[in-house]
């Protein structure tokens, strides 16, 4: 079965600092990987997705993620954090058949002045 593990349920960074949110996946086949963001009292919004076209994926709001097969990782980064980035971030892996998503446990990002 495919799964994702998000290391760190809470991450705190200063405004302007690098954001690094970790995600490792487990999959017996080439995975489809996604990062979603959830702002308070809202639904999930897609940040970016990996579908094997390119290992470095650029998303919205300045976020990007790099697929590393050797490390089974798909970490999310942003060079400079902004206060508006404070939210919960979910990594997810999609199955090939049926397309259901399996989510990680989420990482709450706090951005401090």
Partner 1 sequence: DSGVTQTPKHLITATGQRVTLRCSPRSGDLSVYWYQQSLDQGLQFLIQYYNGEERAKGNILERFSAQQFPDLHSELNLSSLELGDSALYFCASSPGLLGSYEQYFGPGTRLTVT
Residue 18 contacts partner 1 per CB under 8 A: no
According to CB under 8 A, which one of 5, 44, 62, 108 is a site residue for partner 1?
44
Number of residues binding to partner 1, judged by CB under 8 A: 23
Sign of CA dihedral 20, 22, 27, 32: negative
Give the closest residue to 35 by CA, choosing from 106, 110, 108.
106
CB of 15 to partner 1, least distance (A): 28
Residue 28 contacts partner 1 per CB under 8 A: no
* Choices 10-18, 60-68, 79-87, 98-106; region in contact with partner 1 by CB under 8 A: 98-106
88, 111 contact by CB (below 8 A)? no
* Choices 12-20, 67-75, 79-87, 89-97; region in contact with partner 1 by CB under 8 A: 89-97
Residue 49 contacts partner 1 per CB under 8 A: yes
According to CB under 8 A, which one of 66, 86, 103, 108 is a site residue for partner 1?
103
Interatomic CA distance for residues 7 and 112, integer angstroms: 20
Interatomic CA distance for residues 15 and 8, integer angstroms: 19
Residue 40 contacts partner 1 per CB under 8 A: no
Interatomic CA distance for residues 57 and 33, integer angstroms: 10
């Amino acid at each position: 079965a495919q799964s994702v593990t998000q290391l760190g349920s809470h991450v705190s960074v200063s405004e302007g600092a690098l954001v690094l949110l970790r995600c490792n996946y487990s999959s017996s086949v080439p995975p489809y990987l996604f990062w979603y963001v959830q702002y308070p009292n809202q639904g999930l919004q897609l940040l970016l997705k990996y579908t094997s076209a390119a290992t470095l994926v650029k998303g919205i709001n300045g976020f990007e993620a790099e697929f590393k097969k050797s490390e089974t990782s798909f970490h999310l980064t942003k060079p400079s954090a902004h206060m508006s980035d404070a939210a919960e971030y979910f990594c997810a892996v999609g199955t090939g058949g049926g397309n259901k998503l399996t989510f990680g446990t989420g990482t709450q990002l706090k951005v401090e002045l």
